[in-house]
Amino acid sequence: MNKIIGYFLLCMGLALIFFATMAMFKVFIDKQAPVQLLTAGKMMVNTQQGPMEVDTSVMANTLNLVLHGLFMFFIVAVGGRVISAGTNLIKADTFAKALKKATFDDIKKL
**Are residues 89 and 5 in contact, defined by beta-carbon separation less than 8 angstroms?**
yes
pLDDT band, residue 54 (cuts 50/70/90) = confident
Q: How long is the chain?
A: 110
The whole-model pTM stands at 0.73
The predicted pLDDT at position 106 comes to 64
Q: Give the Cα separation of 36 and 67 in Å (integer).
A: 9
**Are residues 6 and 93 in contact, defined by beta-carbon separation less than 8 angstroms?**
yes
pLDDT at 107 over 70: no
Average pLDDT over residues 35-48: 82
Q: Per DSSP, what are the bridge partners of residue 3?
A: none
